[in-house]
Structure 1
Amino acid sequence: MAYAQPHPRLSVVSNSSLSSVDHLSPTTSSTRFSLPSAPSLHGAASIVKAGPNRPNIYERNLNKTRGAEVSGAAFAFLFSEIVQYTQKRVSGINDLERQLNTLGYRIGTRVIELMVWRAEGSSKTPKREIKLISVLMMVHTQVWKAVFGKPADAIERSVENPDEYMIIDNDPPIERHISVPRDMSQLSCSSFTAGIVEAVLDGLSFPARVTAHNTPNPQFPNRTTILIKLEKSVLDREELLK
């Protein structure tokens, strides 16, 4: 879906303005999608031999997998198959984006559940964010890191529409290995990401309609904008909290 920057925007935060060591460190690259080195023959043999004794995946400690990496090649292949499978069962670009959004929403419900569980388990006094900006910052940083291994690049607020916010990702990991045909140039596979964001916001009681839009520029051809349009109830609650 093409998105031609319809509204003036006020920058809330961008990676260039963040001063934390975590954001300035070169290790903030997308290591979550780094390709693992090929195992040796000896290692492969030992893995096969130990197969029957490996613990059930449902018995694994969720805190021990907090920093686990996922093969970039495996993720790209799986997501490609998802897009192709869905494309064969829809009637147009809008329908395809809607289906990807629905699939992302299912992932988002699990992401927020896991993040809340880990936060409650690692802190004696866990807190829940109730302010809009704090929640958006959490999505921009913590959710993006949990899913993509890096924070988003910026978050902006619409000047004309107070109920609209935009999260900018200059190089979305899910778009890196996707080649969109010319006749489908308006397609944004980041609708999958939009579904994740929408589920997280719904889970935190900040209902919104979230969509993805291609906003490329010469420096970042895959640049994507995640547009968040909040429901009126969220803005009314923000006024009461002031």
Structure 2
Amino acid sequence: MIGAGKIKQYSNVLDKPLSKGKQEVSLSAFAFLFSELVQYNQTQVDNIAELERRLEDAGYAVGARVLELLCHREKGNRRETRLLGILSFVHSTVWKVLFGKVADSLEKGTEHEDEYMISEKELLVNRFISIPKDMGTFNCGAFVAGIVRGVLDGAGFPAVVTAHFVPVEGQQRPRTTILIKFAEEVLRREARLG
């Protein structure tokens, strides 16, 4: 029979899944671009707090886009509605996409009910940064804190997210802890769903 065989099915471009594309970015390219981001913002500010805020704002935009991409790619446009679900999503899925591995730890704060911490022994954005003595408390982890805040805000979990160095006994470099303090409305909603 002439023309018998497989019939090509043409699907709508919107029916095709988003391709994963290349999964990794060159570490040296990222380090160079991030270094330039820090240096540029450093020339635009007068103090460390303002520099960290600008890095956090840059990270916030990245976080909003990462959430959108991951929701389309991995969750079929569904989003988390529970507190532990979104924290687990950030700790594992988001971290793995951004840094190639799951975060070292996710812990609940002991002093306050609304605080959670994501800790990383050697956060990528701090790995190649040497901080001058006059900028003693500067933490490039503010960029990652901004990413986390962008993801949480986009998912409907407003929070104040900050990055802190925590000294570790027996190690030269401190670990970085991303402190997440959720808004009161998130805790009320969680109690209602509870």
**TM-score tier after normalising by the smaller chain length:** 0.7 to 0.9
The answer to whether 1:109 aligns with 2:54 is: no
Alignment of 1:186-201 (within 5 A): 186-201=137-152
C-alpha separation between the residues in 2 aligned to 1:161 and 1:139? 20
CA contact under 8 A between 1:140 and 1:152: conserved in structure 2? yes
Aligned residues: 177
Matched letter for residue 90 of structure 1: V
State the Cα distance separating 1:94 from its structure 2 match. 0.3
> Which segments of 5 or more consecutive residues in structure 2 lack a partner in the other structure?
1-16
Deviations 1:51-99 (A, max 9, x none): xxxxxxxxxx84231x521111111111001100000100100000000
SS at 1:88 equivalent: helix
Tell me which residue corresponds to 1:63: 19
Q: In the alignment, which of 142, 164, 180 is matched to residue 228 of structure 1?
A: 180
Q: Between the two proteins, what is the percent identity of the paired residues?
A: 51
Rate the CA distance shift 1:166–1:136 in 2: closer, same or farther, 3 A. same
- Taking only aligned residues, the RMSD between alpha carbons, in angstroms, comes to 1.5
C-alpha separation between the residues in 2 aligned to 1:220 and 1:68? 31
Deviations 1:192-230 (A, max 9, x none): 000000010011111001010111323361410001010
Tell me which residue corresponds to 1:93: 48
The answer to whether 1:165 aligns with 2:128 is: no
C-alpha separation between the residues in 2 aligned to 1:119 and 1:172? 25
Deviations 1:16-41 (A, max 9, x none): xxxxxxxxxxxxxxxxxxxxxxxxxx
Tell me which residue corresponds to 1:154: 105
CA contact under 8 A between 1:176 and 1:222: conserved in structure 2? no
Q: In the alignment, which of 139, 144, 155 is matched to residue 204 of structure 1?
A: 155
C-alpha separation between the residues in 2 aligned to 1:115 and 1:80? 26
SS at 1:64 equivalent: coil
Between 1 and 2, higher relative CO (CA 8 Å, sep ≥ 6) is seen in 1
CA contact under 8 A between 1:172 and 1:222: conserved in structure 2? no
Tell me which residue corresponds to 2:30: 75
Matched letter for residue 64 of structure 1: K
SS at 2:138 equivalent: coil
Matched letter for residue 81 of structure 1: E
CA contact under 8 A between 1:209 and 1:228: conserved in structure 2? yes
> Which segments of 5 or more consecutive residues in structure 1 lack a partner in the other structure?
1-60
C-alpha separation between the residues in 1 aligned to 2:122 and 2:36? 21
SS at 2:180 equivalent: strand
Tell me which residue corresponds to 2:4: none
